Amino acid sequence: MGLTKTQIFNVEQNELAVIFKVLSNPARIAILQYISRQDACICNDIVDEIGLAQPTISQHLKELKSIDLIRGEIEGKKVCYCINLPKWTAIQDLLNSFFNTTKSNCC
C-alpha cells in the first residue's frame, strides 16, 4: 500500500490535500518564513540559515515551486526565490473557504 486512493475523492479534496502536504514539513515552513523576511528576494543563504544540506534545500524549494507558492528567478549564477504573492493569497483564501464551510454546519 502506501498509496493514497486519490481516485475516490473529488478535485477539491485532492487539491487541498496537496497544498497541505507541501506545507507539512517544518523545513519548508522555515524556508517560506526566511524568504519572506528578506524583503527582496534572496538566494541560497537559505542553506546557511536552515541547517540542512544544499541538495535537501533544493528539493524542498522544488516542492514549494510545484504548487507555485514561490518563484525562482535566475540572476547570473545565483537564483533568487520569492513568495508568489497572488498564489499565496489565493491559497490562503482557499483554505479559509474550507475552514469556514466545514465549520458552518457543525454540531
CB of 35 to DNA, least distance (A): 12
CB of 8 to DNA, least distance (A): 8
The angle, 0 to 180 degrees and rounded to 10, between the axes of the packed helices 85-104 and 11-22 is 120
Cell (9 digits) for 52: 540542512
The residue from 2, 40, 74, 76 that contacts its own copies (CB under 8 A) is 40
H/E stretch holding 92: helix 85-104
Per-residue 3-state assignment (H helix, E strand, C coil) for 3-71: CCCHHHCCHHHHHHHHHHHHCCCHHHHHHHHHHHHCCCCECCCHHHHCCCCHHHHHHHHHHHHHCCCEE
When CB distances are held under 5 to 8 angstroms depending on the partner's kind, the choice from DNA, its own copies, none that residue 14 binds is its own copies
Contact set with DNA (CB under 7 A): 1-5, 21, 24-25, 27, 43-44, 47, 52-56, 58-63, 72, 74, 76-79
* Residue ranges that bind its own copies, judged by CB under 8 A: 4-6, 8-9, 13-14, 16-17, 20-21, 23-30, 32-33, 36-37, 39-41, 50-52, 82-83, 85, 88-89, 91-92, 95-96, 98-107
